């Protein structure tokens, strides 16, 4: 493996949640330490589970030696704590000077994921700049690297100081930078190190799935535009050809082979490694040492010793039964990338339409004209797509023409980059969604990709519509604002989609907490693509299925409603497959799509 034979001093592992970057970072750290190297492993992941992986409490201020691995130490940078420190630093001086509503808006602007990432970047650039802290290490490995958006922000010219105070509307993640001008030289040094192939390697981690590989391709392009081309691709969790005749195993292998064979040209040019799917979770030093081993673990004893007890989680059809009772309403399906929210939204919409209800299914999937087009003749169902790029560009133009008109060149440059934030796109898309929300008074509207609580609070703070309406209500008057509609489960049902794996569940919990800050309680969780619910016969998949139980039980214990969707051998292509996915009865006469009539290029139920 090239990464272990010719490692640079700095290694950054990056990728979407759930692709296995923490496991690979830990396995790489162990392998280098086993080569008699001194290694520091640093996590900046908000959902870090380094402590669980190694079975020890990892320090946040001083590195912790890892038992059983001579020469390896680990450090947890807590980005949430760092972000809170920045919020206090920026808001503290004006808390008693500015109106309470203005301060509240500033605090919400500093609550986004971009702020957290910038705060984490500040922490580890400080670590890199501290020669005393790192000089004894041959290698420093980072679990989670900064995005291109964050790096571009840090490379911009001056004009940080007054931006937040003058930007009273729109999404902003720049607040912390207003107090970090003195550290710009340190940032410039860190970015230069990231681009130096003799010093740093960026490891793009992906699963062998279309959506995951597309995300790796986007990240690769984003970093390359900044001159960071020292990249390698790790495709993790590849189903080996073990001769199994299990239909699930055969279907999984076919999907993965198709995804990898269609790699974008930019990824094809990168050094690439494939890591086989493991029969167990990568917890503990012994397990991690096998991950990068060329010897594949024997699976003869991987099957659980006893037949697993039946799951007590209802199918998706039970949630659809409850939703149907209201006869109309807004259903918003949300979740992190790669968990299958697009497929879940489509399955629910088709099921409700099949039962005779008028349904409008709308999505922001960039490939929706390919992957979300149910048969045009399917009764009772209307499908539309909101183009995120079009909505984002429209929103950017509006902000630049209004908030940017009186800024100097440096200020406009800063505002333009700020408007590249993921928060910006989410706000712009939600404004487009609001145009179809009104339809839910007469029919079911199913929305694929709902806004986070942070976005909703930004919209509420900047538009002030909800607060203004409530403030001026006459005694005894009653009105329902858009925010109140989203907060009322009789009018809007928020469904959180996750996979039965560690990181997706942690990210879903974080998303739920974010919604609760906006006064929204998720109505239900959907556990998607469960191998345990599919009961595979292949020993590798059976072992993986057994690992899912604890995650499923954790979800059941923490939320009021849950539903589970088994992993399906057939891709959810066309209405018949979507109805099967939803757990609804498929009657004769339901249109069956062929290759020219299907949801072309549809993604498996484990992707979105």
Instruction: Please report, for residues 358, 465, 466, 520, 534, the alpha-carbon distance to residue 470 in angstroms, rounded to integers and kept in the order given.
Output: 32, 9, 6, 18, 49
Nearest to 524 by CA among 317, 356, 358: 317
**Among 267, 243, 261, 285, CA closest to 66:** 285
| Full DSSP string of 405-437 | TT--HHHHHHHHHHTTSHHHHHHHHHHHHHHHH
Compute the distance between CA of residue 460 and CA of residue 465 in angstroms, rounded to an integer: 7
Higher pLDDT, 115 or 379: 379
* pTM metric for this prediction: 0.74
Q: Say what the pLDDT of residue 476 is.
A: 54
Q: Point out the least confidently predicted range of 30-44, 76-90, 228-242.
A: 76-90
356 pLDDT higher than 50: yes
pLDDT bucket at 374, cuts 50 / 70 / 90: low
Residues of the chain with CATH 3.40.50.300: 2-291, 316-389+442-582
Q: What is the CATH number of domain 316-389+442-582?
A: 3.40.50.300
Residues belonging to the active site: 18, 20-23, 45, 503
Residue whose C-alpha is closest to residue 337's, from 457, 422, 413: 422
Cα Rg, the chain, nearest whole Å: 25
CA distance 258 to 134: 43
Running DSSP on this structure, what letter comes out for residue 229? -
pLDDT at 210 over 60: yes
Whether residue 171 has pLDDT greater than 60: no
Among 214-223, 288-297, 301-310, which is the least confidently predicted range? 301-310
pLDDT at 138: 92
CA distance linking residue 404 with residue 414, whole number of Å: 10
Instruction: Pick the more confident residue, 100 or 511.
Output: 511
Q: Which of 48-52, 169-173, 354-358, 517-521 has the lowest mean pLDDT?
A: 169-173
Checking if the pLDDT of 456 tops 70, the result is: no
What value, to the nearest 5°, has the Cα angle with vertex 278 and ends 276 and 280? 170
Residues 226 and 152: their CA atoms lie apart, in Å, by 8
Q: Residue 128 is encoded by which pair of tokens?
A: 């890199």
Burial (CB count within 10 angstroms: exposed 0-12, middle 13-18, buried 19+), residue 309: exposed
Question: Given 3.40.50.150, 3.40.50.300, 3.30.428.10, 3.20.20.70, which CATH number is that of 2-291?
Answer: 3.40.50.300
Residue 308 has pLDDT above 70, yes or no: no
Beta bridge partner(s), residue 493: 331
CB 345 within 8 A of CB 572: no
Alpha carbon 384 to chain centroid, angstroms: 24
Highest mean pLDDT among 83-87, 95-99, 534-538: 534-538
Q: Which helix (H) or strand (E) holds 60?
A: none
Which tokens go with 163? Answer: 């931006």
CA 450 to chain centre: 13
């Amino acid at each position: 493996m090239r990464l272990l034979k010719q490692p640079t001093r700095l290694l950054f592992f990056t990728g979407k949640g759930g692709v296995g970057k923490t496991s690979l970072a830990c396995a790489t750290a162990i392998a280098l330490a086993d080569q008699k190297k001194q290694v520091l492993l640093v996590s900046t992941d908000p959902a870090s589970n380094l402590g669980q992986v190694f079975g020890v409490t990892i320090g946040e201020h001083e590195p912790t030696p890892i038992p059983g691995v001579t020469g390896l130490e680990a450090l947890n940078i807590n980005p949430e704590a760092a972000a809170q420190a920045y919020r206090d630093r920026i808001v503290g001086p004006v808390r008693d000077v500015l109106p309470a509503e203005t301060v509240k808006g500033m605090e919400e602007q500093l609550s986004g994921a971009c702020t957290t990432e910038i705060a984490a970047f500040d922490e580890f650039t400080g670590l890199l700049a501290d020669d005393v802290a790192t000089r004894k290490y041959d290698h420093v490995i980072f679990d989670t690297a900064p995005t291109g958006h964050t790096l571009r922000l840090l490379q911009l010219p001056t004009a940080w100081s007054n931006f937040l105070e003058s930007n009273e509307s729109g999404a902003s993640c720049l607040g912390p930078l207003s107090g970090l001008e003195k550290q710009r030289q340190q940032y410039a040094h860190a970015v230069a190190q990231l681009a130096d192939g003799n010093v740093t390697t960026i490891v793009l981690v992906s699963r062998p799935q279309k959506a995951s590989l597309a995300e790796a391709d986007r990240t690769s392009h984003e970093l390359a535009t900044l001159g960071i081309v020292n990249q390698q691709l790790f495709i993790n969790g590849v189903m080996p050809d073990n001769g199994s005749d299990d239909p699930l195993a055969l279907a999984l292998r076919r999907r993965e082979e198709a995804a990898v064979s269609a790699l974008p040209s930019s990824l094809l040019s990168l050094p690439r490694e494939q890591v086989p799917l493991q029969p167990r979770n990568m917890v503990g030093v012994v397990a991690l040492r096998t991950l990068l081993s060329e010897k594949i673990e024997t699976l003869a004893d991987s099957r659980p010793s006893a037949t697993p007890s039946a799951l007590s989680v209802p199918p998706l059809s039970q949630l659809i039964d409850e939703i149907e009772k209201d006869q109309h309403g807004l259903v918003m399906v949300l979740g992190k990338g790669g968990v299958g929210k697009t497929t879940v939204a489509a399955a629910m919409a088709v099921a409700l339409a099949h039962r005779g209800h008028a349904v409008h299914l709308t999505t922001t999937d960039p490939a929706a004209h390919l992957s979300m087009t149910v048969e045009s003749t399917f009764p009772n169902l209307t499908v539309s797509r909101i183009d995120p790029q079009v909505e984002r560009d429209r929103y950017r133009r509006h902000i630049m023409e209004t908030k940017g008109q009186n800024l100097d060149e440096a200020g406009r440059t800063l505002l333009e980059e700020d408007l590249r934030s993921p928060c910006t796109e989410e706000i712009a898309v939600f404004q487009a969604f609001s145009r179809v929300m009104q339809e839910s008074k007469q029919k079911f509207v199913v929305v694929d990709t709902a806004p986070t609580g942070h976005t909703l609070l930004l919209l509420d703070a900047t538009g002030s519509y909800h607060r203004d309406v409530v403030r001026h209500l006459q005694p005894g008057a009653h009105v329902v604002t858009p925010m109140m509609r989203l907060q009322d489960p009789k009018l809007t049902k928020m469904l959180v989609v996750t996979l039965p794996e560690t990181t997706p569940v942690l990210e879903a919990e974080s998303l739920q907490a974010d919604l609760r800050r906006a006064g929204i309680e998720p109505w239900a969780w959907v556990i998607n693509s469960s191998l345990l619910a599919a009961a595979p016969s292949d020993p590798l998949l059976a072992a993986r299925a057994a690992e899912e139980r604890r995650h499923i039980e954790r979800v059941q214990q923490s939320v009021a409603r849950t539903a589970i969707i088994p992993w399906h051998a057939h891709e959810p292509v066309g209405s018949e497959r979507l109805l099967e996915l939803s757990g609804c009865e498929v009657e004769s006469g339901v249109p069956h799509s062929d290759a020219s009539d299907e949801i072309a290029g549809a993604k498996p139920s484990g992707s979105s």
